[in-house]
Structure 1
Amino acid sequence: MSGGRRAGYLKNGFQVACIDLRREKMRKFLAVSLVLACGLAQAAPAERAYRFADYPSPIYQGARHPVQLTQQWRDMRTRIREGYQSGKIGFAGSYVAVTWGCGTQCLNGALVDARSGKIYELTPLSTDHPLNACYRADGSMEPDIFHYQAGSRLFITENCHYADIAGREDVVTQFKTIYVYQWLEQQKRFELLSKTVQRSSVPAEARY
């Protein structure tokens, strides 16, 4: 009897040990799965990556047509003419981008088509705030708010505005709005592809 009881005890003990082992393996599996899931979530891109090469445009090699000024551009005719004459084709295959200041930390401009001399709005009109410069956390200004290339129809603007932080006078909240457009050559206009907002803290002097 004692041998039978011992055999039964060992058998039950073995069963309990197996159950505990399976539970431990399950806990480890769930823990590893959770870590992997978190890692994949962090690794997943927050938004689509737009590449200039995905929106190609052949670069015009012919002679430049004289600027065709209209009433809309009369006030900026000198800037446009000089910028067009001295500038290079820099956008969508045939356009010379001409920019000028429009106030503190503000930039505006026009596109001149080298094939026809016609002028188009450089700044897409769907921006929610004036085109102001953006700043890094160390207080340095980012060099550009327009991003484009000669052989691409992709056009990107980075526009920043600011808000006070309660109880803080040394820093402000910066909202960087990134607009991604493509130029539609047949329609001669921009099409908005993406709009995202990045939030950060920068020195308070950035807003002045």
Structure 2
Amino acid sequence: MNMGFALPARLAAGAAMLCTVAAMAQAPAAVPQFKDYPADAPHTGANHSLVLDSDFARAYRTRLREAVASGKPEFAGRYIVVRWGCGTGGCNTGAVIDAVTGHATPMPGALTSVYPLKPEFEKEDGQELIYKLSSRLLVQAGDIEGVNGDGKDVVEFHEFSRGKFNLIKRLPYGREGKSRP
């Protein structure tokens, strides 16, 4: 058996593997896309009345009931989105309400000022919450309460699954807009 070529071949394979790993480490992280988190078919029936099954639902029942009465699903196929201010003038929070079951889930955090992800939001309140009826992905951008506390903006990507928001990715955010979905 000729071993003369075995060592150079193994060295070459090892070097190729190291180069691949190094390239992967330097590649920019993929930004989650709405299309990768499809929702079920949109709910078109009547909204279920609000179910007061949690401290959250009981505390915000007026806002939540108003949303159920006048809203329609606009997120993840069957969820009504409702937002309200925190009382300080500089932040907002909210919930999603399942139009089929009436169960309310709080947003993953309160948002405070952020640079707009999209130019058409420049005149808005400086907080971002982006979602689609056809997707379970929710994108929020801002100084998210309970995350940083340092005044630095982040973009968070959450998948809504089994009645809760699951953080997929958190990225730093600035005017460059490199974290757009």
Where do 1:41-80 residues align within 5 Å?
Answer: 46-57=28-39, 58-72=41-55, 73-80=57-64
Tell me the residue number matched to 1:108: 93
Displacement of 1:92: 0.8
Where do 1:28-177 residues align within 5 Å?
Answer: 46-57=28-39, 58-72=41-55, 73-102=57-86, 103-121=88-106, 123-124=107-108, 130-135=110-115, 143-160=126-143, 175-177=152-154
TM-score for the superposition, normalised by structure 1: 0.58
Distance 2:66 2:130 in 1: 21
* Root mean square deviation of aligned Cα: 2.9
Q: Would you tell me which structure has more strand in proportion to its own residues? A: 1
The answer (yes or no) to whether the contact 1:134–1:141 under 8 Å persists in 2 is: no
Q: Deviations over 1:51-86 (max 9, x none)?
A: 212211121122221111235122321111112221
Distance 2:142 2:157 in 1: 11
The answer (yes or no) to whether the contact 2:90–2:112 under 8 Å persists in 1 is: yes
Distance 1:110 1:91 in 2: 11
The answer (yes or no) to whether the contact 1:84–1:98 under 8 Å persists in 2 is: no
Give the counterpart letter for 2:77 in structure 1: G
Displacement of 1:198: 2.5
Distance 1:88 1:111 in 2: 11
Distance 1:154 1:148 in 2: 6
The answer (yes or no) to whether the contact 2:131–2:137 under 8 Å persists in 1 is: yes
The residue matched to 2:112 in structure 1 has which SS? coil
The structure with the larger Rg is 1
Q: Which runs of 5+ in 1 are unaligned?
A: 1-40, 162-172, 201-208
Distance 2:45 2:138 in 1: 23
Q: 1:183 aligns with which of 160, 163, 167?
A: 160
The residue matched to 1:181 in structure 2 has which SS? strand
The residue matched to 1:175 in structure 2 has which SS? coil
TM-score for the superposition, normalised by structure 2: 0.66
The answer (yes or no) to whether the contact 2:143–2:151 under 8 Å persists in 1 is: yes
The answer (yes or no) to whether the contact 2:91–2:127 under 8 Å persists in 1 is: no
User: Following superposition, which runs of at least 4 residues in structure 1 exceed 4 angstroms of deviation?
Assistant: 139-144
Displacement of 1:140: 6.3
